[in-house]
Structure 1
Amino acid sequence: MDFSDRAETWDDDPEKVRNAVEVAAAIRRNLTLTGRERVLEFGGGTGLLSRQLADDVATILVTDAASGMVEVASRRIRESGREASMRATLFDPTSDPEDPGEFDVVWSMLALHHVPDMDTALRRLRGLLVPGGRLALADLDEDPGGSFHQAHGDFHGHDGFDRHALAHALTRAGFADIAFDTATHVTKEVDGAPRTYSVFLVTATNPG
């Protein structure tokens, strides 16, 4: 799946916008945001989620591994007049050697399941958080048949996540205070009929 090719029209899908609104609400519900947080969005695409939460925190760095997404995210930030508090840059937590900074919160929406090496990504994201920093990842509940991505023959990620297995992975990466909430639902057409997939929000703390 080439996300750069899809970046220009990514925000045109009302389902994606609705998902961002509902995931943002789940983050507000599960994190105590004070308005002083420095945030990194991992796999942020065009920044849909972060734009929903921009008024709740101090600064946001939207990161993505696809250059086309970063280009569109930067443009959306300029168009929204938020250049003083938001910016976008290329970053892949499984391969980029340099850290993009130190953060109080790392969040994402439907990004982790695209990362084959989940354990490396989680360890790296914990390393970007200050002691006591919070992680908030929204992603697909387990999809055993892989129908969510059946239209993408080049998909090499995860078919959603079992919540218990992901909690163990977060523990292995050094996180604590792991908790799950149901954030939203994604509806896609599969084999000519609509199918609904649940999306969780997992929160965790970097104990330091």
Structure 2
Amino acid sequence: MTTDLPAHRAQPGGPPAPRPAQPPTDDPDADRRALRSAALAAHIRVVLGDGHHRRGLDIGSGAGGISPHLVDLFDELVLLDVDEDALKLARANVSAAATAVGCGTHVRTARVDLSIVEAAPHAADLGPLDVAYSAMALHHVRDVPHLLRTVAGLLRPGGRLVVADLEPDGGLYHADEPSFDGHDGFSHEQISSWCGAAGLYVDQLVTAYVDPKPVRGTVRHMPLFVAAATRLPG
């Protein structure tokens, strides 16, 4: 079942409203991704509530699709990716969004792959985290359980992880990308199990958005989930 995503509006004395989705361009695929980012960010804002957080981490930020909509929630926001060029774009895009809403968030980048054991010495500099989130990045990660354990170790007790990604698609979402070697989505049960093993208690897990993605010349409506989990004490 698809969940309606409420619009977030600034409240008197509260944080500024996130940026709306960008106006249409001459690139339909970019427009689709921009709308998806705005919708998922709206859902994540609802999950996190109106509180402000000291430090957040965007796992697999890419060029910064979702973080411009969330930057005002944090004193410091770390953009994490393995692609240095994407990180440069992400920092520019997210910093511009912070300036536009006047939130003063400190934005920095980190080129670290949290899914590999060798990243452990570099990962320590990322914490402690109040919030970590990821949108459409997890299916590119080879060892998801290891990444979740690493992120759990960076979160303070009571810290939040929010993940948005594909539900099982049988390979359809990336059917036009023969070089894709990631995951064909995740079941709710799989995500819950992996999070639990990492010391994260999943308290929300819903189908949150349907992505109208063209595949082999036909628009396919691909469901995406949002999972929210809390770092358990200990």
Cα separation, partners in 2 of 1:101 and 1:25, compared to 1, 3 Å: same
Percent identity between the two aligned chains: 31
Structure-2 change in CA distance of 1:142 and 1:174 (3 Å): same
What pairs up with 1:171-182 in 2 under 5 angstroms?
171-182=196-207
1:66 counterpart residue number = 83
2:156 counterpart (130, 135, 160): 130
TM-aligned CA distance change 1:26 to 1:81, over 3 Å? closer
The answer to whether the 8 A contact 1:175-1:204 is kept is yes
Question: What's the CA shift for 1:85?
Answer: 2.0
Matched with 1:187 is: 212
Corresponding letter in the other structure for 1:55: D
Q: Residues of 1 paired with 2:97 and 2:42: CA distance?
A: 20
In terms of mean alpha carbon deviation, does 45-54 or 81-90 score higher?
81-90
Highest Rg: 1 or 2?
2
Match of 2:112 among 91, 102, 124: 91
Q: Secondary structure at the match of 1:147?
A: coil
Distance 2:72 2:97 in 1: 12
Instruction: Show the counterpart of 1:147.
Output: 172
- 8 Å CA contact 1:60–1:86 kept in 2: the answer is yes
What RMSD, in angstroms, separates the aligned Cα atoms of the two structures? 1.9
**Structure 1 Cα separation of the partners of residues 181 and 199 of structure 2:** 25
Query: Does the 8 A contact of 2:71 with 2:94 survive in 1?
Result: no
Contact 1:39 1:103 in 2 (8 A): yes
Matches within 5 A, 1:96-135: 96-97=119-120, 98-99=122-123, 100-135=126-161
Which AA in structure 2 matches 1:31? L
Deviates more, 1:119-128 or 1:84-93: 84-93
Question: The residue matched to 1:70 in structure 2 has which SS?
Answer: helix
**What is the SS of the residue equivalent to 2:53?**
coil
Tell me the amino acid that sits aligned with residue 101 of structure 1. Answer: G
Query: 1:30 & 1:84 partners in 2: Cα distance?
Result: 20
Could you list the runs of 5+ residues in structure 2 that have no partner in the other structure? 1-26
Q: Secondary structure at the match of 1:203?
A: strand
- Taking the aligned partners of 1:124 and 1:207, their CA distance within structure 2 comes to 14
Matched residue, 1:163: 188
1:64, distance to aligned residue in structure 2 (A): 0.7
Amino acid at match of 1:167: S
1:94 Cα deviation after fit: 1.5
> 1:34, 1:57 within 8 Å by CA — same for their partners in 2?
no
Please give the TM-score of this superposition, normalised by the length of structure 2. Answer: 0.78
The TM-score with structure 1 as length reference comes to: 0.87
Unaligned 5+ runs, structure 1:
1-9
**173-182 vs 71-80, which moves further:** 71-80
CA displacement 1:92-134 (0-9 Å, x = unmatched): 1023231223110000100111111111111011111001100
In structure 2, distance between residues paired with 1:115 and 1:19: 20
Determine the structure 2 residue equivalent to 1:30.
Answer: 47
How far apart, CA to CA, are the structure 1 residues paired with 2:185 and 2:205? 14
> Using the alignment, how far apart are the partners of 1:103 and 1:195 within structure 2?
36
1:182 Cα deviation after fit: 2.6
13-22 or 177-186, which deviates more:
177-186
